[in-house]
Chain A
């Protein structure tokens, strides 16, 4: 937590820029402030680490919303992400503008967008920001507060002023009735959703897509009945699940074989569903820590496999499952020749995938002391090391991408300008020879270089996204592990 004066002292950019930067970050939910305890007129600023990290997940959020709802909700969310915090009318106004730009006819009326907004709020994907307390305008550091029940309540939005502004092609919505009610993206809800996507994909991979569908439904039931902070969901009975499957428009295969799918899922060792009791035809719940432990182990396994090979993987899995093993035991049970086993064991040890525990076995006082060396896998530690490595990989990819783009910025800008000119001319109906001549102003060598840069930048973005998935699994494991203790 730092005071503004302390910050400006340290930064040689000048105080105005510091103020602007802080304001922008607060607006985008990256920094929060509160009045300092000792002096109410000064604010202390804290960074919200998680939200800063989630910046990289914004495209994933949009994809999920698009899949769950549709385009208008997607646009609403995108506008909200761009603005940081905004009132409902503002978001609706800008979204309508954006949609009109995309298609030239006015497809969606503001009231339809308002309904989409309400849908997003109902499912808690957007949340209201705390509002100014009554005497806040008098204080130098405003206090913001909000009650639990108001968090997702959508106010009445006056549609006519918005529609009018749209017709006038205004760029800004002026004052409006709900300008004091501000919304922002609810990161926690999106985290839950991302985690559910991982679980559903796991179910689909393990069994098949219909099982994935079933699992998705059951997850929804659990979410509605459980406390989001608890590591174990409340049990849901068989009859409730059956009802939900019938009510939902599931595929006919699911309806027919619903019994079998459920059975397969809860007997599976991955722990996607646990049978908790027999009341109501069977009670089923989900133990997050167990499921994520299995997922984290699976991730670690594939990491070991890709880096060291399948023999090392055998040793790793063996040690993990058997808890403590001696070197001889390992090479016998894994059926790997001694020298190779020792080499792989050492490699795994070197990279901190295995840990050593020494036990002394002193029998008599005359003989030299024998000690047993046991290998084991301490899962939280290994997960933490891998997590650090993933962060580093993510960071490297971002730095490299930034470096590439800034180095070739001039070239990329020139290419972009050329492309836009060509587009415009084509639209105007200029003959082909002129277009070809214009595009020849940029030599093919440069064009292929631009291609290469774009390709590399794309690959780096993909790499970042996939590193982020691993990070999510590992972080969730650590989070649920600490909760269970």
Chain B
């Protein structure tokens, strides 16, 4: 904040008085470290309002969360991954759900031939999930499904809202892992690729990207 005068360059553009302290007094203390993570509260916050409505809310909230936790909707992680037909256990309206969510062992499915359909180019720098799916699917089960490229856009900004899912204690790990996957690549799976996807790749390239 030096002076910017032309000619006699001694004048500075502000008065010392304007800063709020006169000559000779010490300046404000300089800050030498970042502010503390939990700064001390100067004023105590106002007490919480406790009236009839809030009493009721307290009781209902506890009631609701206990009921939710005890309901069959509350999924516990300890269940076996490949448990048999869960359609009967979960009181969900299954006929309104997409077919892929439904339990295969329960519903009859036409076994479609295994096909890999590459629809369009990968727009992100994610390694081709197509091949990974093919391998995973082959490993996990013998039935086959129509496979797609994972070209979804992700849901962002869940920090504010994801905490509310703790009430039902469901996939709160989901969003964190989503973001991780973008950066990590499965080198092992990618390394020995079969040449099948090679030509498919070229057909679906982004328009306008220069090919070098």
Residues of A within 8 A of B (CB): 1-7, 9-28, 33, 36, 38-39, 41-44, 46-47, 49, 52-53, 55-56, 58-60, 62-63, 66, 78, 81-85, 129, 132, 137, 139-142, 144, 182, 306-309, 338-339, 342, 365-371, 391, 394-395, 398-399, 402, 458-459, 461-463, 465-466
Contact = CB atoms under 8 A, between A and B. Distances in A.
Nearest to A19: B101
Contacts of A3: 148, 150-152
Given A21-B75, A368-B11, A16 B153 contact: no
A81 B96 contact: no
B54 A20 contact: no
A306 B43 contact: yes
B117 A56 contact: no
B177 interface: yes
Contact of A461 (B5, B20, B58, B90): B58
A55 B164 contact: yes
A140 B98 contact: yes
Contacts of B158: 47, 49
Helix, strand, loop or mixed for chain B's interface?
Answer: loop
B3 A368 contact: yes
Contacts of A78: 64
A331 to B, nearest CB: 10
21 contacts: A3-B150, A4-B101, A11-B173, A16-B82, A21-B170, A22-B101, A23-B92, A27-B93, A63-B60, A82-B71, A85-B93, A129-B96, A309-B43, A366-B5, A368-B3, A368-B13, A395-B163, A398-B166, A459-B48, A461-B57, A463-B48
Interface of B: 3-7, 11-13, 20-21, 42-43, 45-46, 48-50, 53-54, 56-58, 60-62, 64, 67-68, 71, 73, 75, 77, 79, 81-83, 86, 90-103, 117, 119-120, 129, 132-133, 136, 140, 146-148, 150-155, 157-168, 170-171, 173-174, 177-178, 180-181
Nearest to A343: B20
Contact of A16 (B86, B160, B177): B86
B178 A1 contact: no
Contacts of B58: 458, 461-462
A367 B120 contact: no
A402 B166 contact: yes
Given A10-B181, A53-B164, A42 B146 contact: yes
Given A368-B3, A368-B11, A42 B93 contact: no
A11 B93 contact: no
**Most central of A23, A38, A56 by chain B CB within 10 Å:** A23
Contact of B160 (A27, A42, A82, A391): A391
A41 B6 contact: no
B74 to A, nearest CB: 9
A338 B155 CA distance: 50
A403 B100 CA distance: 36
Contacts of A459: 48
A365 to B, nearest CB: 7
A339 B20 contact: yes
B96 A182 contact: yes
Contacts of A7: 174
B75 A63 contact: no
**Most central of A55, A137, A370 by chain B CB within 10 Å:** A55
B64 A59 contact: yes
Contacts of B152: 1-3, 6, 44
Contact of B48 (A55, A66, A342, A466): A466
Contacts of B173: 11, 13
A142 B119 contact: no
A158 to B, nearest CB: 20
B166 to A, nearest CB: 6
Contacts of B13: 368-371
Contact of B161 (A6, A44, A53, A342): A53
A15 B54 CA distance: 41
B102 to A, nearest CB: 8
Contacts of B167: 55-56
